Amino acid sequence: MPTSLPPEILALPVSQRMELAAQIWDSIQPSEIELSEEYRRILDERLAKYEADPTEGRPWEEVKAELFKKQ
């Protein structure tokens, strides 16, 4: 997959690149994200589903920890 990332970033181990990506993502404020109507509808549906049965979901921190543990 072609990329325009600097070679220094591409040379990092996958775990470090994933952590860098997570840090960049975490730096984005929700108010900075513009959503299309379709994405807004999908998110609203998912939120309604979660609110109807909160036991179906898992906290992001739990999922993130599991993902990084597998590396």
Residue 19 placed within a domain: yes
- Asked whether the predicted pLDDT for residue 16 surpasses 90, the reply is yes
What's the rounded mean pLDDT across residues 18-29?
95
Full domain range(s) for residue 48:
14-26+34-69
Residue 3 placed within a domain: no
| % of the chain with per-residue pLDDT over 70 | 94
- Asked whether the predicted pLDDT for residue 44 surpasses 80, the reply is yes
What's the rounded mean pLDDT across residues 55-69?
89
| Spatial distance between the Cα atoms of 32 and 14, rounded to a whole number of angstroms | 27
Residue 8 placed within a domain: no
Read off the pLDDT band of 71 (50, 70, 90).
Answer: low
**pTM of the prediction?**
0.46
Chain centroid, CA 53 distance in Å? 22
Angle between helices 60-69 and 14-26 (to 10 degrees): 160
